[in-house]
A and B are shown apart, each in its own frame.
Chain A
Amino acid sequence: MATGGADPTGSGQQASTPGLRYPSNKKTIYDRNLNRSKNAELSRAAFAYLFVEMISYAQRNVRDIAALEKRLNEQGYPLGLRLLDLLLSRSSNPLASIRPTRIHTLIQWVAQTLWRHLFGRPADALERSATDATQYMLYDNDPMVSTYISLPREMRGLNCAAFVAGIVEGVCDGAGFATEGVTAHSVGDQGSQEGDAAGAAPKKEMWPDKTVFLIKFKQEVLEREEILAKGAG
C-alpha cells in the first residue's frame, strides 16, 4: 500500500502501520507546514526550463495545435483544483475560511489572488462579454509563460498560455462553477489587423504576447446565479 508522500527510497518501516513507508527524514507530508513556501519564489530560468519540457512532452504524437493546447490545458487543470483550496486557506484571515459563491467574487479572486500567487502581480483587465453573458475575458498583457517562447511560422495559432487557462478552468470547476472550457488566445493577431486599418501599428508592438483568457461558464451556472440573486429575500 503506497501512501501519500512516502519516499520510495525511505528506509523507515514502522511496526504499528505495516506497509507504510516513511521518507528517510521520517517526515510525511502531514508533518510539513503548508505555509512554508508562501513567500518562496521559483527562479524564472528553472520555470522556463521545466515548461519547455512540459511542452515538448505534450507535443509528442500530437495531431494538431488544438490537441496540443488541450494537453497543456489538462496539465494545468489539477493545479487549479489544488491552488483553489491552498490559496483560500492562506487568505488574510485563515480562521474565517471563506469560499467564493458568486461568479463575480470567483473571477475577482482569480484575477487578484491566483494571479498574484502565480505571477507576482494581478491580471491586467477583466471584462464580461457584451454579446454572451456566460463569457468572461481575463487579459494578461505579458503572460510569463510565453515570455521565452517564439512560435515557428507553421504554429502561429498556438498559445502556450493554454496551460494557465487549464489552471483557471480547474479553479472554476473546483469551486462549483462548471465551465464549457477556458481557452487562451493571442490578441496580437487581431490587433495587427485592426491596427493596420487604424494605422496604429506601434500599439501592437507594446504587448506582442498579450493574451486573453476566455472563460465560458455553463448555462446552468448563470441560471443558478439568477435564482440566488432573487432568493428568498
Chain B
Amino acid sequence: MSYTFTILSPTDTPLFTHSFGTSRSGGDGIPRFTSSERALIPFILHSALDIVEDVQWGPSTSAGSAPMYLKHIDKYQNNFISCWITGGNVRFLLLTRPRDEALGLGPSSSGQKGSLAGGRAGLQSSSGMLYSPTNAATEEAVKNFFQDVYESWLKTIMNPFFNVGKGDVVKSPVFRARVAAAAKKYL
C-alpha cells in the first residue's frame, strides 16, 4: 500500500507533501507508485478539492458544526482519497493506493493478502479480504493519523514566524519526522 499525504492551504497551495508506504503487516514504509501514477497524484488531489468543498459545510440539517474528519471522499481509478479539514480551512488530503492484490486485480496467491490500513489480525484472517476505504478499521486508522498530524500542524501555526494563511510552506524537518512517525504508527 502506498500513500501520499498533502497539506493544502485555503487558497489551494500545497504546503507540505510526504509520500510513504505502509508499515503494517511487514510493510517497509516505502511508497511504490509507478512513475505515471506519481505524475498523476497532484491532479488527483486537486480534483478532490471540489468534492471537499461540496461536503465541508455538512448537511442542511446540520446543527451548525461539522467534524473535521470528512472520511473517504473521492476515488480516482485505484486511488482513494481521505480528507481532514482544519478549523482554518486547511485541507489535509491522504491518497491511498492499495496493492493490486488488495483490490482483487492482480493474481492473488493464497499467501498474499491485501494489507489493510490499520488492519487487525482478525480482520485480515478472512482470505480474499479486499481493501475498502469505508471499512471501520481503515477509517479509524486514517483518523488517528490525521489527528496526530493536526496536533503537529497546530504547533506549526503557533510559531509566530510562520505566516499563517499566506501560503507559507512547512519546511521544518521536525514536522516531516512527526508525520512520518504518525504514518508508521497507524498506516
Interface residues of A (CB under 8 A from B): 1-5, 17, 20, 28-30, 32, 34, 78, 81-82, 84-86, 88-89, 95-102, 104-105, 173-176, 224, 228-233
Count how many pairs of residues, one from A and one from B, have CB atoms less than 8 Å apart in the complex: 124
Known A4-B174, A85-B87, A89-B154: A231·B61 in contact at CB below 8 Å: yes
Q: Is the CB of B178 within 8 A of A30?
A: yes
Interface residues of B (CB under 8 A from A): 10, 56-69, 85-89, 147, 150-159, 161-165, 171-175, 178
Q: How far is the CB of B178 from chain A (nearest CB, A)?
A: 6
Q: Is the CB of B87 within 8 A of A104?
A: no
Of A17, A29, A232, most buried by chain B (CB within 10 Å of CB) is: A29
Chain B residues with CB below 8 A from A28, complex form? 172, 174
Q: Is the CB of B88 within 8 A of A84?
A: yes
Nearest chain B residue, comparing its CB with the CB of A103 = B64
B-side binding surface: helix, strand, loop or mixed? loop
Query: Which of B154, B158, B163, B165 makes the CB contact (< 8 A) with A174?
Result: B165
Q: How far is the CB of B86 from chain A (nearest CB, A)?
A: 6
Nearest chain A residue, comparing its CB with the CB of B60 = A231
Q: A30-B172, A34-B154 given; name 17 further pairs at CB < 8 Å.
A: A4-B172, A28-B172, A29-B156, A78-B165, A84-B87, A86-B158, A89-B150, A95-B147, A97-B69, A99-B66, A101-B62, A102-B64, A173-B165, A174-B88, A228-B58, A229-B60, A233-B61
Q: How far is the CB of B122 from chain A (nearest CB, A)?
A: 24
Q: How far is the CB of B173 from chain A (nearest CB, A)?
A: 4
Chain B residues with CB below 8 A from A20, complex form? 172-174
User: In the complex the two chains form, what is the Cα distance from A17 to B173 in whole Å?
Assistant: 7
